[in-house]
């Protein structure tokens, strides 16, 4: 009785784990490929439990059975069937059943392509809709629900790995090479991805906001994203005076730095510093003055020469870029 | 009679001696008076210990290029400002105050001969405990220490006239009331490679620099010594006076690769364009027409030691950017900004 209760509690707790983290979990899929992966995992888990239980029962039986219960010949037949024939058939069956899962999702010329470049320690995101000009963004990727999307994955400096656990499996980003990951989201919502290959001091602080949107909402969003954002105020002048535009683009005449993340619609993003800090004015101002305190080894230099008020003004300006 | 040594007795003796020592220290009987000097044997033991310490630490931690004789003007100015009061200088007697100390500050015209350059570097950088010799006021300016080592090396045999010429003041014993001793009456730094041209600089930038030196956010023992003792009104006056002089502003010219870095940056190496901050109307210093040795020296200082990983170096704006500039481009870049061309300036193929 006690044992039964314990098993129920453990099984319940394991089930609850997926609910803890619905926005970054391979057990809480929002895409077709992640659903396949979870399906494979659950089938394998169930089979493994059955086999492990069978082996345990056989061992219990073998320990309790009197000596000479089986003849040598019977014993050898048991080994042949349980150790040779059945595992071969089961593994072959699993292989044949799972092979179709490896087939890449078909990609048509009309499908949206999103180029994502991994850099220490952020993501350069370029939307390439068919028949239209590219749209630059960073550290947030939005995809339409129900449509096939191809990620073209590259790396600028070292090897990174692109992993949105709720959407699909992980794929390496390798300098000098383009890997393609084709996915389809099935459920709208806000999710999270993560670099899955050690890439430097702040590897663990290289995350990605993922937003799956209804197709119509996505099209409207992409059209808005394509337009330059404008905001004015003291922060705009400080942004230019301190040379921020040497590295960061805010799409507007004369601001074309491409070393760091594109900030055109910075204010509409949910997080700061590649999925690490909530988007608050204090966080943005603090990051501008001392990015290395949030992300050790970050490529952006610190600007301790800015006063707290100046950094806050720039932060307000950036947050105004919706 | 014999006394048997047991564990208990040995430990009790040690504890008793320690307690006796504490009792002696507590009583205040020990005479710390500097006026009484040391016994000869104490003096010998303390100096012997100090020499051994300097020898060993200098051998392992002092750099292999401990002296830099190219910038004696700023070293002489700092020596006049901060060191000569205790040590004296050619033609300048040390203040009697420090001669009444135990130990008295040595006459470097004699004493400097006893040390190697590496040992002098270690002493100037770190100071010596229990002697009154202070450490260099900032620990991250080995370039300043190198210049001071070269200056101290030249003290034996330096005539008062030579010293006065280096310091640039008629009365080097007095506080440097003006900045002209090092920076020159014309703000051009008296030709010294490590002293920037101040004429034509943005007055707000000069004022911010002085305040930074005084508060320690800008690191320099030489400038801190001066800036900390300037009144706010003096700082403003000095900044305005030097900014109004002619000097900076020459048009950059020369190497095409350097020009590209200055105007466009170098995306492949993540170097932003210099001109995105160093331009008219921006709160950063004017570089056009600056002394090339000064620009190159600052860039190399920010790059720091090759053997130290970047994560342990400063993350401030210029150190991060300077570390991305290829070493081969530093001198062409400095000359380009200075507006000086040279025949061998052609790195365009490489970068």
Residue of B272, B317, B319 with shortest CB distance to A257: B272
Burial A6-38 (b: 16+ CB within 10 A, else e): eeeeeeeeeeeeeeeeeebbbbbbbbbbbbbbb
Domain presence at residue A298: yes
How many domains does chain A divide into? 2
Residue of A241, A290, A299 with shortest CB distance to B270: A299
pLDDT tens, position by position, A230-266: 778 888 889 989 999 899 988 874 556 789 999 989 9
With CB atoms and an 8 Å threshold, state whether A257 touches B276.
yes
**pTM, full prediction:** 0.83
Contact residues on chain A for B311, CB-CB shorter than 8 A: 201, 296-297
Do residues A172 and A274 share a domain? Answer: no
Determine which of A117, A255, A286, A305 to mutate to test the interface with B (most B C-beta atoms within 10 Å).
Answer: A305
C-alpha distance from A273 to closest chain B C-alpha (Å): 17
Q: For residues B213-237, give the mean pLDDT.
A: 92
Q: Cβ–Cβ contacts within 10 Å for residue A117, how many?
A: 20
CA distance A40 to A295: 37
CA distance A167 to A185: 7
CA distance B46 to B34: 15
Do residues A306 and A177 share a domain? Answer: no
Q: Any residues with CB less than 8 A from the CB of A87 and at least 6 apart, and which?
A: none
- Domain at A275, CATH number: 2.60.40.420
Do residues A200 and A160 share a domain? Answer: yes
In the numeric block, the tokens 């040391």 are attached to B38
Residue of B273, B310, B316 with shortest CB distance to A246: B273
Lowest mean pLDDT among A6-10, A35-39, A140-144, B51-55: A6-10
Q: What is the DSSP letter of A66?
A: P
Strand-pair partners of A112? A149
With CB atoms and an 8 Å threshold, state whether B281 touches A241.
yes
pLDDT at residue A14, as a whole number: 56
Using CA atoms of B197, B202, B207, B212 in order, give the dihedral in degrees to the nearest 10: -70
More confident residue, B169 or A125: A125
Give yes or no for a contact between A173 and A154, defined as CB atoms under 8 angstroms apart: yes
- Which domain, by its residues, includes A291? 234-319
Contact residues on chain B for A296, CB-CB shorter than 8 A: 311
CA torsion through residues A161, A162, A168, A171, sign: negative
List the structure tokens of B145.
């220490």
List the structure tokens of B162.
């030579």
With CB atoms and an 8 Å threshold, state whether B311 touches A297.
yes
Q: For residues A196-225, give the mean pLDDT.
A: 93
Q: Which residue of A has its CA nearest to B273?
A: A246
Do residues A117 and A25 share a domain? Answer: yes
Q: What's the CATH superfamily of B50-243?
A: Cytochrome c-like domain (1.10.760.10)
Residue of A243, A291, A296 with shortest CB distance to B311: A296
Alpha-carbon distances of B346 from B258, B294, B326, B328, B329, rounded to whole Å: 9, 21, 14, 11, 10
CA A55 to chain centre: 38
Say if residue A163's pLDDT is above 80. Answer: yes
CATH of domain B256-338: 1.10.760.10
pLDDT tens, position by position, B196-212: 999 999 999 999 999 99
Give yes or no for a contact between B249 and B289, defined as CB atoms under 8 angstroms apart: yes
Residue of A246, A258, A302 with shortest CB distance to B315: A302
List the structure tokens of B45.
């033991």
Contact residues on chain A for B281, CB-CB shorter than 8 A: 241
Strand (E) or helix (H) holding A48: helix A32-64
Do residues A119 and A197 share a domain? Answer: yes
pLDDT tens, position by position, A42-92: 999 999 999 999 999 999 998 998 888 888 999 899 899 998 999 999 999
Rounded to the nearest integer, the mean pLDDT of chain B is 89
Do residues A175 and A284 share a domain? Answer: no
pLDDT at residue A68, as a whole number: 83
Contact of B312 with chain A, judged by CB distance below 8 Å, is answered with no
In this chain, the answer to whether the domains covering B50-243 and B256-338 adopt an identical fold is: yes
CA distance B77 to B225: 11
Contact of B285 with chain A, judged by CB distance below 8 Å, is answered with no
pLDDT tens, position by position, B308-339: 888 888 899 999 999 999 999 999 999 999 88
Do residues A162 and A206 share a domain? Answer: yes
Q: What is the DSSP letter of B68?
A: -
Sheet holding A122-128, edge to edge: A135-138, A122-128, A112-119, A148-155, A179-184
Do residues A248 and A302 share a domain? Answer: yes
Name the residue ranges covered by the structural domains of chain B: 50-243, 256-338
């Amino acid at each position: 009785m006690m044992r039964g209760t314990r098993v129920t509690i453990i099984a319940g707790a394991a089930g609850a784990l997926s609910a803890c983290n619905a926005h970054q979990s391979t057990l809480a899929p929002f895409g077709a490929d992640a659903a396949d992966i979870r399906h494979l995992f659950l089938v394998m888990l169930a089979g493994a439990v059955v086999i492990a239980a069978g082996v345990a029962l056989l061992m219990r039986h073998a320990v309790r059975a009197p000596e000479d219960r089986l003849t040598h010949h019977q014993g050898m037949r048991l080994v042949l069937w349980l150790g040779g024939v059945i595992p071969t058939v089961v593994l072959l069956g699993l292989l044949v059943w799972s092979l179709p899962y490896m087939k890449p999702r078909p990609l048509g010329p009309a499908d949206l392509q999103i180029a994502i470049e991994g850099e220490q320690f952020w993501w350069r995101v370029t939307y390439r809709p068919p028949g239209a000009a590219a749209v630059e963004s960073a550290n947030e990727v939005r995809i339409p629900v129900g449509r096939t999307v191809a990620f073209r994955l590259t790396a600028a400096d070292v090897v990174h790995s692109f992993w949105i656990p709720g959407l699909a499996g992980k794929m390496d980003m390798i300098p000098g090479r383009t890997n393609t990951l084709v996915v389809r989201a099935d459920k709208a919502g806000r999710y999270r991805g993560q670099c899955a290959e050690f890439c430097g001091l702040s590897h663990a602080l290289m995350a990605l906001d993922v937003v799956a949107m209804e197709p119509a909402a996505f099209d409207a969003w992409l059209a808005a994203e394509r337009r330059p954002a404008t905001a004015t105020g003291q922060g705009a002048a400080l942004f230019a005076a301190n040379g921020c535009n040497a590295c960061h683009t805010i799409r507007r005449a004369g601001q074309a730095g491409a070393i760091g993340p594109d900030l055109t619609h910075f204010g509409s993003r949910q997080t700061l510093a590649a999925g690490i800090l909530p988007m608050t004015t204090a966080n943005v101002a603090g990051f501008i003055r001392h990015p290395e305190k949030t992300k050790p080894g970050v490529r952006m230099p610190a600007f301790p020469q800015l006063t707290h008020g100046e950094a806050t003004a720039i932060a307000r300006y950036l947050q105004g870029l919706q | 009679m014999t006394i048997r040594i047991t564990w208990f007795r040995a430990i009790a003796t040690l504890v008793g001696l320690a307690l006796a020592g504490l009792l002696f220290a507590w009583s205040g009987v020990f005479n710390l008076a500097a006026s009484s000097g040391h016994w000869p044997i104490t003096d010998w033991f303390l100096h012997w210990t100090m020499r051994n310490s300097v020898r060993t630490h200098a051998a392992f931690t002092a750099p292999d290029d401990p002296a830099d004789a190219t910038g004696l003007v700023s070293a002489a100015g700092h020596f006049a400002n901060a060191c000569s009061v205790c040590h004296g200088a050619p033609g300048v007697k040390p203040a009697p105050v420090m001669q009444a100390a135990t130990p008295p500050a040595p006459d470097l015209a004699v004493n400097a001969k006893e040390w190697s350059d590496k040992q002098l570097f270690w002493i100037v950088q770190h100071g010596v405990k229990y002697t009154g010799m202070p450490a260099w006021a900032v620990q991250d300016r080995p370039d300043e220490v190198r210049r001071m080592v070269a200056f101290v090396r030249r003290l034996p045999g330096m005539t008062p006239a030579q010293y006065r010429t280096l310091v640039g003041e008629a009365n080097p014993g007095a506080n440097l009331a003006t900045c002209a001793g090092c920076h020159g009456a014309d703000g051009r730094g008296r030709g010294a490679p490590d002293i920037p041209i101040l004429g034509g600089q943005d007055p707000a930038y000069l004022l911010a620099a002085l305040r930074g030196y005084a508060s320690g956010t800008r690191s320099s023992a030489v400038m801190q010594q001066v800036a900390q003792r300037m009144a706010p009104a003096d700082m403003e006056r000095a900044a305005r006076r030097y900014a109004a002089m002619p000097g900076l502003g020459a048009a950059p010219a020369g190497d095409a690769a350097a020009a590209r870095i200055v105007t466009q940056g170098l995306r492949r190496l993540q170097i932003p364009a210099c001109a995105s901050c160093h331009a008219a109307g921006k709160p950063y210093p004017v570089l056009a027409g600056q002394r090339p040795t000064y620009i190159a020296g600052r860039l190399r200082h920010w790059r720091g030691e090759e053997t130290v990983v970047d994560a342990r170096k400063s993350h401030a704006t210029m150190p991060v950017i300077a570390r991305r500039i290829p070493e081969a481009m530093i001198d062409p870049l400095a000359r380009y900004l200075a507006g000086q061309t040279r025949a061998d300036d052609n790195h365009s193929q490489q970068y």
